[in-house]
């Protein structure tokens, strides 16, 4: 714990070390545990709490709107982690996140849910789905149909 600028106790997470020169400096990172991150550290996508907040804001403005909501999960991520370690799982998550990013409209919002799920939210789209979204669905089907190594 430490005292923040408003003299309130705050729980923190520290990772690093103290460098002992004439001033004793902490080198590393300090994160407040009471603040939820807006973006996922691995993918850079928005997080689940941000999805809920953005959706609730949108619903408060306009109840009747067009769009789509796609949930994408990585099957067997636990097995990938067990076989290749957390680094292997992170690589799988990064691969999927980059594939999603390449294949969606710039106006779409992408969220990483906890663990192995991603959500794409697109509001106010024309009735015809863009070619990028069609390509994303084709790529996801191709990945799903691949045989495990």
Looking at residue 83, its pLDDT comes to 94
Looking at residue 132, its pLDDT comes to 67
The distance from CA 87 to its chain's CA centroid, rounded to whole angstroms, is: 17
Mean of all residue pLDDT scores within the chain:
80
Looking at residue 16, its pLDDT comes to 83
45: pLDDT strictly greater than 60: yes
Q: How would you classify residue 29: left for phi > 0, otherwise alpha for psi between -120 and 50, otherwise beta?
A: beta
Concatenate the DSSP letters of all residues of 57-115 into one string. HHHHH-SS--EEEEEEE-TTHHHHHHHHHHHHHHHHHHHHHHHHHHTS-TT-EEEE-SS
Looking at residue 102, its pLDDT comes to 85
Of 130, 129, 122, the residue nearest 58 (C-alpha) = 122
Tens of pLDDT along 122-145? 877 655 556 666 677 777 777 767
pLDDT band of residue 29 (cuts 50, 70, 90) is: confident
Question: Which residues 6+ apart lie within 8 Å of 131 measured at CB?
Answer: none
149: pLDDT strictly greater than 60: no
Looking at residue 129, its pLDDT comes to 59
Tens of pLDDT along 101-126? 888 877 788 999 878 999 988 877 65
Question: Which residues 6+ apart lie within 8 Å of 145 measured at CB?
Answer: none
């Amino acid at each position: 714990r430490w005292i923040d600028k408003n003299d309130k106790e705050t729980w923190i997470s520290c990772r690093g070390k103290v460098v002992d020169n004439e001033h004793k400096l902490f080198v590393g990172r300090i994160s407040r545990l009471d603040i939820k991150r807006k973006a996922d550290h691995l993918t850079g996508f928005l997080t689940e709490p941000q999805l809920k907040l953005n959706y609730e804001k949108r619903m408060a403005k306009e109840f009747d709107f067009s769009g789509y909501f796609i949930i994408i999960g990585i099957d067997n991520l636990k097995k990938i982690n067990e076989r290749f370690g957390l680094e292997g799982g992170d690589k799988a998550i990064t691969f999927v996140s980059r594939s999603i990013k390449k294949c969606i409209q710039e106006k779409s919002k992408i969220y990483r849910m906890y663990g192995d799920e991603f959500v794409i939210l697109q509001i106010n789209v024309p009735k015809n789905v863009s070619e990028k979204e069609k390509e994303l669905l084709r790529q996801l089907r191709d990945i799903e149909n691949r045989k495990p190594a």
